[in-house]
């Protein structure tokens, strides 16, 4: 519950599912309520009158988020910084589909372009604005595209209008090409959270993975090609399901992070053991294990790798995707291998690899990584990792990364 009608207002308190209240007024898709104990505040309509996990209105709204502009002449920027070029302005009550979030900047579908807008200038609600399907290719154009892609093993398809192809794999590098929704590019590889692509006119650059879908199996094929020379069989891997017992981790409705991480670890363990890997778990059930003993289990076992499994949370419900953290430079190769596999196999966007000063990986000898496999605060992420198929894809991604990591 917040002090005003928007997520930019301070949180006044947290209220439990099922709490009773009276509505005083409504504004900007928020309810001003008063609780039975006399305390008042604002809650969003999409979290009212139902559980977080089973909100019918949320389900009807689709699998995205809408940004509603809160004032006139709000600048829209080319990159995820207010120091970048202004590409246009948005006005009060205009609505745009949200594509991604980077810090305090929101990536939106801005007309026929991609733009960034400060988060404190918008209201965020679940939903999707129906977009025009885009111009259909003529038979001749489709034939030319097919002929171009026939020279490559895989393709990447833009999922938004005006996608930016950049000179480097970063949000602030030069834009060298603008693509159209459903435009196909040749897949050349991956770098961080970007696809390395080639346009039909020969332009090569980098396309953010949250703006595209890949049909590539390059990472899977790489793991398969190296399987016979991998020394993964007989390795000892420690899996660390985050939280447990009295520490539930992040919570969304009736879902608790501790249960999701344990289920994930159990599926990963099963697949690794099928390939001859010795797997140790820092916890096998819903028990509390402090941070230091988790690293001790790994170090004392003299195991070959430590993988801590988590599901993240953020105040903004638009924050999404997977992230792989490392502490020591010697852990970077494993983190990059895992990230590349997740980016190719998982339905959520990849946020890349990052340095993380987390005790469980700081106290563990390398290679040690911590993987955030989605956001408990994002209903679309929760929907994705509520499916059994999600855990299988996580397991296959980790297995493939380990196969590549351990070579003769």
pLDDT number for residue 126: 81
**Whether residue 171 is found in the same domain as residue 94:** no
| CA pair distance 33, 272, nearest whole angstrom | 50
**Whether residue 237 is found in the same domain as residue 353:** yes
In the numeric block, which tokens belong to residue 356? Answer: 């993380």
When computed from its CA atoms, the radius of gyration of the chain, rounded to whole angstroms, is 23
pLDDT number for residue 7: 66
pTM of the model: 0.76
| CA pair distance 163, 114, nearest whole angstrom | 6
The answer to whether residue 358 sits within a structural domain is: yes
**Whether residue 357 is found in the same domain as residue 276:** yes
The number of residues in the chain equals 408
| CA pair distance 58, 46, nearest whole angstrom | 6
- The pair phi, psi for residue 25, each rounded to 5°, is -165, 170
- Asked if residues 119 and 80 have their Cβ atoms less than 8 Å apart, the reply is no
Q: Is beta strand 21-27 parallel, antiparallel or unpaired with respect to 350-355?
A: unpaired
Mean pLDDT of successive 10-residue stretches along the chain, which has 408 residues: 75 77 70 75 71 34 78 95 95 93 92 93 85 73 90 90 94 93 92 93 95 87 89 96 95 91 98 96 97 97 98 89 96 96 93 95 97 94 93 97 90
pLDDT number for residue 43: 86
**Whether residue 109 is found in the same domain as residue 205:** no
Residues in contact with 146: Cβ distance below 8 Å, sequence separation at least 6, in sequence order: none
**Whether residue 100 is found in the same domain as residue 188:** no
**Positive or negative, the Cα torsion across 90, 93, 97, 103?**
positive
pLDDT number for residue 136: 72
The answer to whether residue 131 sits within a structural domain is: no
pLDDT number for residue 133: 63
| CA pair distance 193, 170, nearest whole angstrom | 9
Total number of domains in the chain:
4
Q: What is the DSSP string of 88-132?
A: EEE-TT-EEEEEEEETTEEEEEETTEEEEEEGGGEEEEE--PPPP
pLDDT number for residue 61: 37
**Whether residue 274 is found in the same domain as residue 205:** no
| CA pair distance 239, 185, nearest whole angstrom | 37
The closest alpha carbon to 239, from 303, 290, 171, 168, belongs to 303
| CA pair distance 115, 184, nearest whole angstrom | 21
**Backbone dihedral region for residue 10 (phi beyond 0: left; psi -120 to 50: alpha; all else: beta):** beta
**Whether residue 74 is found in the same domain as residue 206:** no
Q: Spell out the long-range contacts of 41-45 with Cβ–Cβ below 8 A and sequence spacing 24 or more.
A: 41/1, 41/2, 41/3, 41/12, 41/13, 42/1, 42/2, 42/3, 42/4, 42/5, 42/6, 42/9, 43/1, 43/2, 43/15, 44/7, 44/125, 45/125
**Backbone dihedral region for residue 94 (phi beyond 0: left; psi -120 to 50: alpha; all else: beta):** beta
Residues in contact with 62: Cβ distance below 8 Å, sequence separation at least 6, in sequence order: 126, 127, 128
The answer to whether residue 354 sits within a structural domain is: yes
pLDDT number for residue 135: 67
**Whether residue 109 is found in the same domain as residue 177:** no
- Asked if residues 311 and 250 have their Cβ atoms less than 8 Å apart, the reply is yes
Q: Which one of 78, 102, 126 terminates a domain?
A: 126
**Positive or negative, the Cα torsion across 309, 311, 313, 318?**
positive
- CATH number for the domain harbouring residue 104: 2.30.30.40
| CA pair distance 159, 179, nearest whole angstrom | 10
**Whether residue 247 is found in the same domain as residue 339:** yes
- CATH number for the domain harbouring residue 7: 2.30.30
Q: Which one of 199, 215, 231 terminates a domain?
A: 215
The answer to whether residue 58 sits within a structural domain is: no
**Whether residue 318 is found in the same domain as residue 374:** yes
Q: Which one of 215, 242, 259 terminates a domain?
A: 215
**Whether residue 143 is found in the same domain as residue 12:** no
- CATH number for the domain harbouring residue 380: 3.40.630.40
pLDDT number for residue 108: 95
pLDDT number for residue 49: 55
The answer to whether residue 134 sits within a structural domain is: no
Domain holding 152, by residue range, is 139-215
pLDDT number for residue 354: 94
* C-alpha torsion 102→210→358→385, nearest 10: 120
The answer to whether residue 284 sits within a structural domain is: yes
| CA pair distance 226, 359, nearest whole angstrom | 33
**Whether residue 160 is found in the same domain as residue 81:** no
């Amino acid at each position: 519950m917040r002090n005003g009608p928007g997520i930019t207002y301070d949180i006044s308190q947290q209220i439990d599912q099922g709490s009773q209240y009276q509505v005083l007024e409504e504004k900007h898709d928020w309810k001003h309520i008063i609780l039975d104990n006399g305390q008042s505040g604002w809650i969003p309509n999409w979290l009212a009158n139902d559980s977080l996990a089973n909100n019918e209105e949320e389900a009807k709204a689709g699998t995205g988020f809408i940004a509603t502009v809160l004032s006139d002449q709000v600048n829209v920027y080319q990159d995820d910084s207010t120091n970048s070029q202004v590409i246009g302005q948005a006005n009060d009550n205009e609505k745009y589909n949200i594509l991604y979030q980077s810090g305090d900047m929101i990536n939106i579908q801005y007309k026929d372009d991609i733009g960034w807008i400060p988060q404190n200038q918008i209201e965020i609600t679940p939903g999707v604005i129906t977009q025009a399907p885009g111009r259909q290719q003529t038979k001749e154009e489709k034939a030319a595209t097919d002929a171009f892609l026939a020279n490559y093993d895989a393709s990447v398809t833009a999922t938004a209008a005006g996608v930016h192809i950049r000179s480097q794999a970063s949000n602030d590098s030069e834009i060298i090409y603008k693509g159209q929704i459903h435009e196909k590019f040749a897949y050349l590889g991956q770098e961080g959270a970007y696809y390395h692509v080639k346009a039909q006119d020969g332009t090569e650059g980098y396309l953010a993975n949250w703006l595209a879908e890949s049909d590539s199996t390059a990472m899977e094929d790489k793991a398969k090609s190296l399987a016979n020379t991998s020394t993964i069989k007989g390795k000892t891997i420690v899996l660390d399901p985050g939280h447990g017992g009295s520490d539930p981790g992040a919570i969304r409705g009736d879902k608790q992070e501790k249960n999701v991480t344990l289920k994930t670890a159990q599926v990963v363990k099963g697949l690794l053991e099928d390939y001859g890997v010795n797997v140790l778990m820092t916890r096998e059930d819903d028990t509390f294990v402090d941070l230091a003993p988790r690293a001790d289990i790994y170090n004392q076992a003299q195991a070959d790798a430590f993988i801590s499994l988590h599901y993240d949370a953020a105040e903004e419900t638009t924050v999404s995707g997977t992230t792989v953290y490392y502490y020591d430079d010697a852990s970077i190769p494993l983190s990059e291998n895992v990230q590349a596999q997740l980016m190719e196999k998982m339905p959520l966007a990849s946020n890349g690899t990052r340095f993380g000063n987390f005790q469980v990986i700081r106290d563990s000898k390398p290679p040690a990584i911590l993987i955030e496999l989605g956001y408990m605060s994002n209903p679309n992420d929760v929907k994705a990792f509520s499916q059994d198929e999600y855990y299988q894809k996580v397991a296959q991604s980790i297995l493939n990364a380990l196969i590549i990591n351990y070579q003769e």
